Amino acid sequence: MKSTKIFGIVLAGGEGKRLMPLTEDRAKPAVPFGGHYRLIDFALSNLTNSGLGQIVVLTQYKSHSLDRHVSQTWHVSGLLNAYIASVPAQQRLGKRWFSGSADAILQSLNLIHDEKPDIVVVVGADHVYRMDFSQMIDAHVASGAPATVAAIRQPIGLADQFGVIEVDPKAPDRISRFLDQPKHTTGLADSPDEILASMGNYVFDADALIEAVRADGERTDSNHDMGGDIIPYFVNRGEAGVYDLKRNEVPGSTDRDRYYWRDVGTIDSFFEAHQDLISALPVFNLYNQEWPIFSRQLNSPPAKFVRDAKGRLGTMIDSIVSLGCVISGGHIERSVLGPWASIESGSTVVDSIIFDRVHLKPGAVVQRTILDKDVVVEAGAAVGVDRERDLARGFSVTDSGITVVAKGVTVRP
């Protein structure tokens, strides 16, 4: 009996303007997260844990860092015809770049033709979550629908922040309408205060996906977007199914983190997702060994907390500290430190995210701030304490008061 062949596509070409300046020098999926991870690690971990062995990552915007991470981290033996490959825009249909996520697939149809899969799984590269796609694939096949959209339940008051899926109560697994950030919508029949929000993850019959992106490519009134154009194409034909994440059982998950999903496309959501990691009972648990999040294994020494020359001990409360970090008489609280961060005597880091190789000199203060790689905070300097001063120094500050310092900047007193 012929087995079903599955092919995975990760859409990783987005520019990520809302995450500036973190995306000033890198693609959004390459942004560090949770210490030593990159955002794309969550999508790839979910696909590989789900048993997919042939996966391509479609890249475009400032992709060097992302391409390098995929090649160094996600090397899979080709002996069993398994691979994870980064594929840049190839301009196969003319001298132009991808004009949207659907156009990215249209311009990469050679990848599907080469593998001849029965089913194609298409996922975004910048969400934090766990999901067993094998269960969604089984539901897709059983439904008979050529397209299936993964959905997560969200409060109805947040409907205007998502692509909202409405279903026919008589056919709750079929999408009746797909609405983009609607002001008004109807709650679910079994939970009137909730809606189904698209997760940006899809399962398609391969031939149906090929037909859809080709038809979309001929339209002049399309944005060539998977969520905005391809899914409505299937909905209008009555051929789109929905898969409620509530049906998904990930091994090792707990009641607290079972249905966690967060779009980290803004600085505020990126910051809040880190706060979800560091509580005593984390909302998203990185320590689930039955469904691990894979990333590059750094050849680095353990983190170290030591006394400074005055005998003050380096301390850490409710925080994540990565390999290679040295905290010498400094204090870390409710924060996440990336690899090789150095926190010197009398320095304080509170409610902050520190990327790789950041150096805080004696007496530095960092509060409610994101410091990109190789930032140096000089002795006695403070960041995240005075909003107006941070703005005057050219730092980005969100409306909620999160300061972001770009890669390689020196913060002076």
pLDDT at 78: 66
pLDDT at 74: 85
212: enclosing H helix or E strand? helix 206-217
Q: What is the mean pLDDT of the chain?
A: 91
**pLDDT per position as a tens digit, 172-212:** 789 998 988 888 888 888 888 999 999 999 999 999 999 99
Distance CA(344)–CA(361), nearest Å, equals: 5
pTM: 0.92
What 8-state DSSP symbol labels residue 230? I
- Asked whether residue 13 carries a pLDDT value surpassing 80, the answer given is no
Better pLDDT: 92 or 278:
278
Better pLDDT: 307 or 150:
150
pLDDT at 94: 67
Q: What is the mean pLDDT of residues 19-34?
A: 91
What 8-state DSSP symbol labels residue 409? P
The CA radius of gyration of the chain, in Å to the nearest whole number, is 22
Q: CB of 112 within 8 A of CB of 210?
A: yes
What 8-state DSSP symbol labels residue 226? I
**401 marked among binding-site residues:** no
pLDDT at 70: 87
pLDDT at 79: 63
Cis omega before residue 88 (within 30°)? Answer: no
**pLDDT per position as a tens digit, 65-82:** 888 988 888 887 666 788
Q: Residue 164, exposed/middle/buried by CB under 10 A (0-12, 13-18, 19+)?
A: buried
pLDDT at 139: 96
Lowest pLDDT segment from 5-14, 137-146, 309-318, 386-395 = 309-318
Q: Which long-range contacts (CB under 8 A, 24 or more apart) does 359-364 make?
A: 360/330, 364/411
- Asked whether residue 1 carries a pLDDT value surpassing 60, the answer given is no
Per-residue tokens: 213? 């992106």
Lowest pLDDT segment from 298-307, 308-317, 369-378 = 308-317
**342 marked among binding-site residues:** no
C-alpha to C-alpha distances, 326 to 190, 227, 339, 369, nearest whole angstrom: 52, 44, 10, 19
In order of their start, the domains of the chain are 6-278 (3.90.550.10), 304-411 (2.160.10.10)
Lowest pLDDT segment from 3-17, 344-358, 397-411 = 3-17
- DSSP E strand stretches across 251-386: 261-263, 304-306, 315-317, 320-321, 326-328, 331-333, 336-337, 342-343, 348-350, 353-354, 359-360, 365-367, 369-371, 376-377, 382-383
> Residue 14: which pLDDT band, with cuts at 50, 70 and 90?
confident
In the numeric block, the tokens 């690690």 are attached to 41
pLDDT at 93: 66
Lowest pLDDT segment from 157-161, 167-171, 197-201, 300-304 = 167-171
**pLDDT per position as a tens digit, 271-293:** 999 999 998 788 898 989 999 99
Distance CA(372)–CA(370), nearest Å, equals: 6
